[in-house]
Amino acid sequence: MPKRHSPDVVIIGAGVVGAACAYYAARSGLTVAVVDRGPVAGGTTGAGEGNLLVSDKEAGPELDLALLSTRLWRELSATLPPETEYEPKGGLVVAPDEPALRALRAFAEGQRAAGVTATEIPADRLADLEPHLAPGLAGGFHYPQDAQVQPAQAAARLLAASGAALHLGEEVTAILRDPASGAVRGVRTARRELLAPAVVNAAGTWGGEVARLAGVALPVLPRRGFVLVTEPLPRIVRHKVYAADYIADVASGSAALQSSAVVEGTPGGPVLIGATRERVGFDRSLSTEALRRLAAQAAALFPVLADVQVLRAYHGFRPYLPDHLPAIGADPRVPGLHHACGHEGAGIGLAPATGALVAAALTGTAPPLDPAPFRPGRDFGPADTVPPQEQQS
């Protein structure tokens, strides 16, 4: 007979989003249990670069969420241990030619109106920020609000600070519901029942599977991405640097392989090189074409990297929703069910604001920003934006 425990809320998912939900729920006075079929940060979080970006987001709801998270990450950095490696390094987005620079200029203008600091850097000043950048670029924009954390450590430290009861290596096999009202009353694993009046689906790429356990549909799809890790180097890349076409890749819904180099140094010395995007289901095979593109694009941005040894490559699956916004908050179809998933490649950056919104919904307090654009019951777009081969089983 499974053991029974009764917290105020059960959070499914021990990645950084689930950890942030646990942290802010606990700060709101709730007792929390977190359950995950694997270890802390064993999914998308552990395969991330730790990006905390505002630079790649156009004015709108996601940028508002990112700006709130930027403030919250800064506050968290003052209380979490140094292992989280919070680094407000800033971002530099570069344009290869004048048309791309004009597009960046218009993009930045809209961002500034929303509260983003974006400073245009002329071509002859780019080397002041990044001495090893390739010559011949048309210019760029500096975003001092961009930052980075070590994602797995960030998740672990948030969970520790929350005081939540952790149940790792336990897959949720059922979401328990009241037979009369349909409201959730907890979850079941092979080892225990966690009885609670609220359940938060923070299962990342597997958020659609968890939603189905509650009898509802949430069209979360996997979008695969690769990252290259170089040998340790002196700090030759000072900021998070990427070309302007990365912004278009982030906003695209294409299933095809897309790649645009995002290059950054780390406190430990290796340079991280992302990012690719492709919708291939949960195919974990190595894509030599994706790695080749990343290496070539990184060397084009930073010629000094051309002869640097790549020690390893890794990949993960971003939790993608067709309208490119996460699902955050109460599900209107099932009382007590909340969602916090579908952040695609921005989950690490958006985690604190997501946690704050979920905590407000759980406690019935005023949210820190308008949650309406992220409501889980919204129309996510035409059904044909969800290719049949990507439906999760």
Check whether 246 has a pLDDT greater than 80: no
pTM of the full predicted structure?
0.93
pLDDT digits (tens, 9 = 90+) for 308-357: 999 999 989 999 999 999 999 999 999 999 999 999 999 999 999 999 99
Predicted confidence at residue 390, as pLDDT, reads 44
The residue type at 372: A
pLDDT at 386: 42
**What's the CATH architecture for 91-144+221-320?**
2-Layer Sandwich (3.30)
Residue given tokens 């509650």 in the structure block: 214
Question: What is the per-residue pLDDT across 30-70, written as a single tens digit (0 to 9) for each?
Answer: 999 999 999 999 999 998 889 999 999 999 999 999 999 99
Q: Residue 167's beta-bridge partner residues? A: 35
Distance CA 320, CA 333 (A): 21
Alpha-carbon distance of 388 to 279, in angstroms, equals 12
pLDDT tens digits for range 9-33? 999 999 999 999 999 999 999 999 9
What are the domain boundaries of the chain? 3-47+152-220+323-390, 91-144+221-320
Asked if residue 188 lies in contact with residue 172, where contact means CB atoms within 8 angstroms, the answer is yes
Overall fold of domain 3-47+152-220+323-390: FAD/NAD(P)-binding domain (3.50.50)
pLDDT, the chain, mean:
92
With beta carbons less than 8 A apart as the criterion, state whether 20 and 210 touch.
no
CA–CA distance from 49 to each of 151, 265, 313 (Å)? 7, 11, 12
Q: For residue range 344-388, list pLDDT tens digits in order.
A: 999 999 999 999 999 999 999 999 999 999 999 999 986 434 443
Q: How far apart are CA 117 and CA 253, in angstroms?
A: 27
